[in-house]
Amino acid sequence: MSRLAFRAAAAVVGVALLALYLTAALFVADLLRAAWAARPDLPVLLALLAAGALASAYLSYRLGTAQLLANLEGDRVPRERAPDLHRRIDSLAARMDLARPNLYVTDARTPNAFAVGGGSDGGALVIDRSLFRLLSPREMEAILAHELAHLEGNDGFAIAMADGVGRSLVGIATVAALPALLALSGLAAASGWIRGRPSDRSGLFARLHHALAGGLFAGFVVATLVSRSRSRKREFAADDRAAEVTGDPIALARALRRIERAAEPSWPLAPFSTHKRTDEPAERWLSTHPSTDERVERLRQTAESQGPTRRIPVGLSGASVGRGRSRR
């Protein structure tokens, strides 16, 4: 095929692509325009959008919680199978004026403990079996108090709702921008074909498309960062509450260190493991938990503030160990 014939064919393809994308953009714009014309008054519309976002987040939270418990590789533990553990949980729940949660013991790949649910149903407390070998009784009590603090504050629900609402807002913005995205994508593709460079996406329309898509993605990232930031703050709050209830912040600090060290892989390719420590700011911002160093240092300061009689173990003074990533 001669160059002239190729350019002619490419121009035809470009025009066809442009017509296809613009038709799709106009169709979506008409749908949005019709929906906007049929909208209720602005206060009612905002109330409906807010209700929809909250309902979506709540449904996602409830379904996610139920699925998590259904997929646990463990069992619900009745009182007769672990009376001492149940008595500890009863005592802590009574001190915290908290509805008693259901207890599950599971076999995970790493030492872990986490709480799900909360509110009037009490939620569920999930403990990995390895923690019973790893932690002393006082350390186990501190970890239990930390997780019960999450249930007391209904943290999982609050964080899930904030995350769901943020994602819903980004989703609404994406739907509103969809006609522009389609039109710019069509213009960028058509421009490349018409110029005889089908793979070239360096023109003005391509840059505008990337800018708009990047802005929407930035909104998603911001919503995620806000949710993760709140999650890290709730971890600190749960640490403080556990230290208050047990009166032993050092026990929790020791437990965090033990779990962190036990979770670190020792096999030769450990640098490539997901448990590796990192100082990358982006990874810290996206983490749901603060670093173990930060948590231990806060607990150490809490212990020091309780008086000079509180002994600080040498292994807990300063930042001697890197970051943990457990869901504790």
Task: Give residue 263's pLDDT.
Answer: 78
What is the Cα–Cα distance from 92 to 101, expressed in whole angstroms?
11
Q: What is the 3-state secondary structure (H, E, C) of 61-103?
A: HHHHHHHHHHCCCEEECCHHHCHHHHHHHHHHHHHCCCCCCEE
Task: Give residue 322's pLDDT.
Answer: 34
Task: Give residue 22's pLDDT.
Answer: 95
Task: Give residue 34's pLDDT.
Answer: 93
Task: Give residue 74's pLDDT.
Answer: 76
Residues 206-237: tens digit of each pLDDT: 999 999 999 999 999 998 898 889 999 999 99
Task: Give residue 294's pLDDT.
Answer: 92
Task: Give residue 275's pLDDT.
Answer: 41
Tokens representing residue 167 in the block: 């994602």
Task: Give residue 92's pLDDT.
Answer: 93
Task: Give residue 242's pLDDT.
Answer: 95
Q: What is the DSSP string of 44-57?
A: HHHHHHHHHHHHHH
Q: What angle do CA 109, 280, 131 make, to 5 degrees?
A: 25
Task: Give residue 214's pLDDT.
Answer: 95
Task: Give residue 227's pLDDT.
Answer: 87
Type and span of the H or E element at 104: strand 102-106
Amino acid at residue number 81: R
The helix/strand/coil state of 261 is helix
Instruction: Supply φ then ψ for residue 126, to 5 degrees.
Output: -115, 125
Task: Give residue 203's pLDDT.
Answer: 82
Residues 280-314: tens digit of each pLDDT: 666 677 788 888 999 999 999 999 887 654 555 54
Task: Give residue 309's pLDDT.
Answer: 47
Q: What is the DSSP string of 124-142?
A: EEEEETHHHHHS-HHHHHH
Task: Give residue 67's pLDDT.
Answer: 83
How far is CA 143 from each of CA 22, 110, 172, 252, rounded to the nearest angstrom? 58, 15, 40, 6
Task: Give residue 82's pLDDT.
Answer: 87
Task: Give residue 323's pLDDT.
Answer: 36
Low-confidence ranges of the chain (pLDDT < 70): 1, 119-122, 265-283, 307-328
* pTM of the complete model: 0.77
